[in-house]
Structure 1
């Protein structure tokens, strides 16, 4: 049995890759009318012998040492290194790439390709400092495509290390040689980087800097919902209620999927000003274009305060007939329990308790890209590392 986790199919793939590389090396030598090096065949036979004797590590090392490096065989080396890295053999992948860099006469572009793969090896193995240093050294001198790949990896490293200002700078460099706008992916990411910096500023009490960073987020990404949510919360805390309402009202226009996040702050802001009538008009206006449960719940709570439980009960019953939802049913039972007494009230309270437990047990948010689900909103999906793709779940059990 093989003791390195390699299966038969894997060995066949590697053997074929090396064989093709070996053949390409021989063909290149013939094209250039160069005498074929006599050391290749003995090494090749020796490596094959290791392979047949179930010693894949020794076989691979022998093949790598024997295989000539030129423009036609480089891809074979890189493919093998990439394959090893994906299989978790990162140390062996690093060895391949370091050996390639040690070969004399490697053209600049090919050397950059190898360095990029070596940086990816370091990232895979968790050696982020080494990867960062290597990538930073390559950015000023690398060819355009490799430079872009280096910056992308640097942004990912800065993201994981929460070096938000460096991430912003790297995104700016990504756009440096492109005279058009950044792709949406990077505009969205940079907007979130500014929001992260703003949250840090709020934590240290630097509200002026926080506002500046949030406005920068909106400048790079007009759809930066998170920036308006944070700005609304900040202005509310600072007593600038009108500014808070102005920021929060932008959220439904940016993306209605995030109305549930804006509503509690809007209700708080209008209530602080004693403008319940304005709040009611705004909620009714929202409900015309957005059928989510959160607006209906806010409206029913407002009706309960202004007109009493019966009015709220009637509204929620009508709402549930057209758009049934578990949270809506919970609200209806809450109002009914308040109106009843004795055994009827106790039964309703028990049912309400069960519904609340069901609501708490189920995930409330899901990533629209990878399907990750959880109980809280993540601006950066923990699974696929995408920004702004986690949203409130819709349907009978959710929004």
Structure 2
């Protein structure tokens, strides 16, 4: 059987035409898909800019379905889920990214960091800690350390918090000596509650060495000395606060006055309080001075007059109420009602307020219960701010 060359001549052009048509169809389909994916992406971006997160999520899901290999869309979708509080869906997105073999090292670290944030926002601290520890040596190292510091503080794991704080300080991320002093004070409080005052004193002395300008270690050490029957050492420790942290004297004033009277060093205590009041007029310091007045009517009246004199340089309703409480009014029969009204009005003014979040409390906190910030409570009352 002879091969007919005419079929070959007819078949080659036909194959070329069919191949050209097939390529055109593939290109047209590819262009269509490429148009649809960016359209869904930009639609989602538009919804996001207009704060329509539900519609933005739907658009991004559509874009991901059409192009499942696009990592940026996955990151955007996962972050949106986290912002909406849908942590389980955010975790699934970021775990899917980490399971991909074609992901670059930098994107893998990025997905790991996003996954850690998902766990952190969901309150799964142990899983967040494990995820963050895998980021050592990556470009997210410093961010992961800050997050780990927050985790250890929330879980009151002070030794681990101190270790992270040292790393952050070594990498020039700021000064963490004040925080490390607080960690030692927290450890000291735990040891003191467990009946180990010697170990607690050791921690507090370490805290003073780390942060000499921090008032809390000295304040806590004075409390420890008082509780263990060493008032002389407590008084000497309180005196150092006036030198190391004069702004904190309002917090120590009452204890200084009481301890000074207990160890018969009233004159020394009064001298320190007067000097503090002259430098930073404070109602707490003034009340400590008034409490050290003698027992005679003349001494008591002279001391109470200090409240009225305080009004010369401080517009204090609290001081006015304190002064009126010891005065005889023209219509004395109405004094109790007037005094109750004044005390009620001044009660909010005697609170402490966090400078970071505005959380108010009756007592002074070294760490805000609201925003967890350290040293955010000034030593002065709301009225004096």
TM-score range, shorter chain: 0.7 to 0.9
Alpha-carbon deviation of 1:67?
3.7
The structure with the largest alpha-carbon Rg is 2
Deviates more, 1:76-85 or 1:274-283: 76-85
Q: Take 2:249 and 2:274, find their aligned partners in 1: how far apart are those partners?
A: 13
Matched, 1:85 2:82: yes
Aligned residues: 349
2:63 maps to 63
Give 3-state SS (helix, strand or coil) of 1:390's partner. Answer: coil
Q: List gaps (5 residues or longer) in structure 1.
A: 1-34
Deviations 1:331-388, CA, capped at 9 Å, x for gaps: 2123325xx8xx8555334333322222334461112223222222222223332100
Matched, 1:226 2:228: no
2:308 maps to 317
2:152 maps to 158
Give 3-state SS (helix, strand or coil) of 1:336's partner. Answer: coil
Is the contact made by 2:116 and 2:128 (CA closer than 8 Å) also made in structure 1? yes
2:282 maps to 292
Deviations 1:115-143, CA, capped at 9 Å, x for gaps: 0110001111111121112223333xx32
Q: List gaps (5 residues or longer) in structure 2.
A: 1-25, 48-53
Is the contact made by 2:246 and 2:276 (CA closer than 8 Å) also made in structure 1? no
Q: Take 2:381 and 2:317, find their aligned partners in 1: how far apart are those partners?
A: 11
Deviations 1:193-243, CA, capped at 9 Å, x for gaps: 111111111111111111121122223322321111101111122222232
**Equivalent position to 1:274, from 241, 264, 268:** 264
Is the contact made by 2:254 and 2:284 (CA closer than 8 Å) also made in structure 1? no
2:14 maps to none
Bigger relative CO (Cα 8 Å, ≥ 6 apart): 1
Deviates more, 1:162-171 or 1:251-260: 251-260
2:207 maps to 217
CA 1:305 to 1:146, structure 2 compared with 1: closer, same or farther past 3 Å?
farther
TM-score by length of 1: 0.76
CA 1:58 to 1:324, structure 2 compared with 1: closer, same or farther past 3 Å?
closer
Deviations 1:291-327, CA, capped at 9 Å, x for gaps: 1122222222222536532212333322323333122
Is the contact made by 2:352 and 2:380 (CA closer than 8 Å) also made in structure 1? yes
Q: Take 2:218 and 2:299, find their aligned partners in 1: how far apart are those partners?
A: 33
Deviates more, 1:147-156 or 1:243-252: 243-252
CA 1:40 to 1:315, structure 2 compared with 1: closer, same or farther past 3 Å?
same
Q: Take 1:37 and 1:256, find their aligned partners in 2: how far apart are those partners?
A: 77
Deviations 1:379-399, CA, capped at 9 Å, x for gaps: 22233321001124557x347
Matched, 1:330 2:330: no
**Equivalent position to 1:373, from 349, 357, 360:** 360
Deviations 1:71-124, CA, capped at 9 Å, x for gaps: xx6555434432331232323322221121111132323211210110001111
Deviates more, 1:146-155 or 1:245-254: 245-254
**Equivalent position to 1:119, from 98, 116, 119:** 116
Root-mean-square deviation over aligned CA pairs: 3.3
What does residue range 1-399 of structure 1 map to in structure 2 within 5 Å?
Answer: 42=33, 45=36, 48=40, 59-67=59-67, 74-75=71-72, 77-139=74-136, 142-143=137-138, 145-175=139-169, 178=171, 183-184=174-175, 186-305=176-295, 308-336=299-327, 345-362=332-349, 364-394=351-381, 397-398=383-384
2:20 maps to none
